[in-house]
């Protein structure tokens, strides 16, 4: 049995947290291999059971830490190997939240995984222990929100470049970058330099990833959406252009990615769950459970 849970954050955290998610594989579950595509969310990933194995494109493997801090990523070949006994809990943060909540520079985390204690010190162990004691997913969400709320009340202010990144994200990567630069009274090249220096990705690549993951999430959530319609809705030149973008940012064609991605894009990331509900899915189950 492979169970997944996801939930949207409470209203006070929506500017900083996209979703909470959990996966659980029973001991007799078959092993799974799921690709990790490009994404803009920053992630705290907690492991409470058998630790998954990460595999890089050059076939190097490593065991995930009990708390991994993961930055935004442009695509690099990366697969997650999941085994029976895995129990993971993740906090998916908004693209700017590492800086706002923890004072962590965004550019230092792009395409990187760090061990939690190395970044947060004893705070990481305290948070892991509290979440490990929780019996249910709902309790873990409650503890995580209690941990994050004081930080949200003292969140750092966004710079103009950060606001531009947020603007691009909310527009799902469909904005003309020269227009964004003009709003900041910057030339396009200066805007590109400043954006890369502060965010860690070029604005063009950042926009591509924003559009890609928005299109992917919509197709996962609305499987009756045709590929041509999806390409048109997100401003791709045509379906061929979209297919090439999917291949560059995930390593797979759209159809192949949907078959392989598993639970890497939790439903709550798509706005499929309201603030007061938790979505629970499994091999044989799909229901909304009141929180």
Full-model pTM:
0.90
For 98, other C-beta atoms within 10 Å of its C-beta total: 23
Provide the pLDDT for residue 2.
87
Pairing of strands 53-56, 113-115: unpaired
Q: Do 145 and 168 belong together in one domain?
A: no
Is the Cα dihedral 133, 139, 141, 147 positive or negative? Answer: negative
CA distance 71 to 26: 29
Q: Do 138 and 167 belong together in one domain?
A: no
Q: Do 62 and 152 belong together in one domain?
A: yes
Structure tokens at 155: 């969140």
Provide the pLDDT for residue 271.
53
Provide the pLDDT for residue 1.
80
Sheet holding 53-56, edge to edge: 32-35, 78-82, 53-56, 61-63
Domain carrying residue 176: 160-251
CATH of the domain at 34: 2.60.120
| Beta carbons of 254 and 260 less than 8 angstroms apart | no
| Beta carbons of 92 and 43 less than 8 angstroms apart | yes
CA distance 76 to 93: 20
Provide the pLDDT for residue 275.
34
Number of domains present in the structure of the chain: 2
Q: Do 23 and 118 belong together in one domain?
A: yes
Q: Do 76 and 142 belong together in one domain?
A: yes
Q: Do 271 and 235 belong together in one domain?
A: no
Q: Do 94 and 21 belong together in one domain?
A: yes
pLDDT in tens, 155-170: 998 899 999 999 999 9
CA distance 212 to 168: 13
Contacts of 282 (CB under 8 A, 6+ apart): 1, 2, 3, 4
| Beta carbons of 72 and 48 less than 8 angstroms apart | no
Task: Examine the pLDDT at 284 and tell me if it is beyond 50.
Answer: no
CA distance 90 to 86: 13
| Beta carbons of 88 and 22 less than 8 angstroms apart | yes
CATH of the domain at 186: 1.10.10.60
pLDDT in tens, 234-264: 999 999 999 999 999 999 999 999 999 999 9
Q: Do 182 and 131 belong together in one domain?
A: no
Average the pLDDT over 138-161 and give the result: 96
Q: Do 180 and 279 belong together in one domain?
A: no
Q: How confident is the model at residue 203 (pLDDT cuts 50, 70, 90)?
A: very high
CA distance 61 to 59: 6
Q: Do 131 and 271 belong together in one domain?
A: yes
Contacts of 39 (CB under 8 A, 6+ apart): 72, 73, 209, 213
Q: Do 146 and 278 belong together in one domain?
A: yes
Q: Do 148 and 273 belong together in one domain?
A: yes
């Amino acid at each position: 049995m492979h169970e997944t849970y996801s939930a949207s954050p409470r209203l006070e955290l929506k500017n900083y947290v996209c979703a909470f998610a959990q996966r659980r594989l029973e001991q007799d579950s078959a092993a799974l291999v799921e690709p990790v595509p490009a994404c803009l969310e920053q992630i705290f990933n907690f492991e409470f059971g058998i630790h998954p194995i990460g595999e890089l494109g050059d076939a190097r493997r490593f065991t995930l830490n009990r708390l991994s801090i993961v930055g935004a990523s442009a695509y690099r070949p990366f697969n997650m190997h999941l085994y029976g006994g895995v129990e993971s809990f993740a906090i998916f943060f908004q693209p700017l939240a590492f800086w706002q909540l923890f004072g962590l520079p965004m550019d230092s985390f792009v395409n990187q995984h760090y061990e939690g204690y190395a970044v947060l010190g004893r705070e990481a162990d305290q948070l892991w222990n509290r979440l490990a004691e929780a019996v249910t997913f709902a309790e873990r969400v409650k503890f995580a929100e209690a941990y994050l709320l004081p930080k949200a009340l003292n969140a750092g202010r966004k710079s103009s470049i950060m606001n531009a990144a947020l603007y691009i994200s909310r527009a799902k990567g469909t904005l003309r970058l020269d227009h964004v630069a003009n709003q900041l009274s910057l030339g396009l090249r200066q805007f590109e330099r400043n954006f890369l220096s502060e965010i860690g990705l070029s604005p063009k690549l950042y926009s591509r990833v924003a559009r890609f993951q928005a299109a992917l999430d919509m197709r996962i959530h609305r499987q009756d959406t045709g590929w041509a319609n999806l390409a048109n809705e997100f401003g791709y030149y045509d379906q061929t252009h979209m297919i090439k973008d999917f291949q560059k940012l995930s390593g797979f064609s759209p159809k192949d990615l949907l078959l392989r991605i598993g639970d890497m894009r939790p439903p709550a990331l798509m706005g499929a769950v309201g603030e007061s509900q938790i979505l629970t899915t499994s091999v044989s189950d799909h229901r909304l459970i009141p929180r």
